[in-house]
């Protein structure tokens, strides 16, 4: 959890305890009131870990395995002009 996440958690806990309003928490954290309500709901269900992005430390869902990427580059390399090869290489995720 980063320092930014910890700061958000402190503001949300103050709002949950009623020390500050949701509007004040939104201003303090820099989010909308609606997002504060959404974060408070997730905080109730999952605790402090709810503020961290779900894919942090995990592989992207869009990542293409190395074999598939290499095969796609070979096919594109045969079909594309030389100027388009680098473009195609940059557009394949992974």
Q: What is the pLDDT of residues 6-61, one digit of tens each?
A: 888 889 999 999 999 999 999 998 999 999 999 899 888 878 777 777 667 778 77
Distance CA 12, CA 2 (A): 15
How confident is the model at residue 83, as a pLDDT? 61
How confident is the model at residue 60, as a pLDDT? 78
How confident is the model at residue 23, as a pLDDT? 95
pLDDT at 91 over 80: no
Dig out the tokens for 70 from the structure.
Answer: 């290499």
For the entire predicted model, the pTM comes to 0.55
């Amino acid at each position: 959890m980063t320092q930014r996440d910890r700061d958000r958690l402190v503001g949300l806990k103050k709002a949950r305890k009623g020390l500050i309003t949701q509007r004040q928490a939104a201003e303090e954290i820099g989010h909308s009131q609606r997002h504060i309500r959404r974060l408070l709901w997730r905080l109730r269900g999952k605790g402090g870990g709810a503020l961290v992005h779900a894919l942090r430390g995990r592989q992207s869902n869009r990542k293409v395995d190395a074999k598939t990427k290499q095969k796609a580059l070979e096919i594109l390399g045969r079909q594309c002009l030389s100027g388009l090869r680098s473009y195609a290489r940059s557009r394949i995720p992974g």
